[in-house]
């Protein structure tokens, strides 16, 4: 059984953390948070472990952050799980990474249903191994009727590739006469992106100290707040997520205007 914040009745959570979470929840929370989950390999290296051990630990940490985001009322959480550039990694590492969605989604699916969370994916699913496709598709189908937070995985995703595909679709519509050149707008482009059913992220988080976007949601992040941390992803805790949201809540988002407008 879960309480109103989604804590399990058997959990012995720190009361201060719960109070902090309630305070965050009582203010304006981001509708959509995007996270570049970086540092799995460095986390493993610091412990003299193979890189795959870091990836596995990072996968397990997705549960922690998903639960926390859901508890504070985040509408959508997009996680950069595997980029189009990640195929360049050693074959054994890629094969391991492609097994993680199956393990994670199979074990976490009952709780996702209990928490009313919907699973979605952006990226080119057809290029993924069959077993990965099946695991992702099963999770999306099983949770499709849920009405709570969206847990959105960016798998085989690259923002430049996404924009190329968007332009190709728009050009095709212009050529076949279903769209006029004059009607192409920013909204047109947004509606042809893989995130068309989601609001643009309010907050981008990147772990492990890197200060770049790495071909992630380049169009969608135009007005997002950025928050960077030295913490490696496997160690990124619910307290870290709360700190990022608290930082977001303290900022004045002007969208090019002046304060108070």
pTM, two decimals, is: 0.92
pLDDT exceeds 60 at position 213? yes
Q: In what order do the strands lie in the sheet with 76-83?
A: 118-122, 150-157, 76-83, 32-36, 203-206, 225-228
Report the distance separating Cα 166 and Cα 226, nearest Å: 25
Report the pLDDT averaged over residues 225-245.
98
The helix (H) or strand (E) run that includes residue 34 is: strand 32-36
Q: Quickly state the pLDDT bin for 167 (edges 50, 70, 90).
A: very high
> Where are the domains positioned within the chain?
29-158+200-250
Q: Quickly state the pLDDT bin for 13 (edges 50, 70, 90).
A: low
Q: Is 51 annotated as a binding residue?
A: yes
Top-level class of domain 29-158+200-250 = alpha beta
Catalytic residues: 38, 86
Q: Is 79 annotated as a binding residue?
A: no
**pLDDT for the residue 8:** 54
Q: Is 212 annotated as a binding residue?
A: yes
């Amino acid at each position: 059984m879960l309480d109103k914040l989604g804590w399990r009745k058997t959990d012995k959570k720190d009361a201060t953390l719960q109070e902090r979470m309630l305070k965050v929840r009582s203010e304006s929370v981001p509708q959509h948070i995007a996270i570049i989950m970086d540092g799995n390999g460095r986390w493993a290296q610091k412990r003299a472990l193979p890189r795959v051990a870091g990836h596995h630990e990072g996968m397990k940490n997705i549960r922690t952050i998903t639960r926390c985001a859901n508890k504070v009322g985040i509408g959508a959480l997009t996680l950069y799980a595997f980029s189009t550039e990640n195929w360049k990694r050693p074959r054994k590492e890629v094969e391991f990474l492609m097994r993680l969605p199956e393990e994670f989604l199979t074990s976490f699916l009952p709780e996702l249903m209990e928490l009313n969370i919907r699973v979605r994916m952006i990226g080119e699913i057809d290029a993924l191994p069959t077993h990965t496709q099946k695991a992702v598709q099963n999770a999306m189908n099983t949770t499709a009727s849920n009405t709570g937070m969206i847990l959105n995985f960016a798998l085989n995703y690259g923002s430049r590739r996404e924009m190329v595909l968007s332009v190709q679709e728009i050009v095709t519509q212009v050529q076949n006469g279903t769209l006029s050149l004059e009607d192409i707008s920013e909204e047109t482009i947004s509606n042809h992106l893989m995130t068309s059913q989601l609001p643009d992220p309010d907050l981008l988080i990147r772990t492990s100290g890197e200060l770049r976007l790495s071909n992630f949601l380049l169009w969608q992040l135009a007005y997002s707040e950025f928050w960077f941390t030295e913490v490696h992803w496997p160690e990124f805790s619910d307290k870290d997520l709360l700190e990022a949201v608290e930082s977001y809540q303290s900022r004045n988002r002007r969208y090019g205007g002046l304060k108070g407008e």
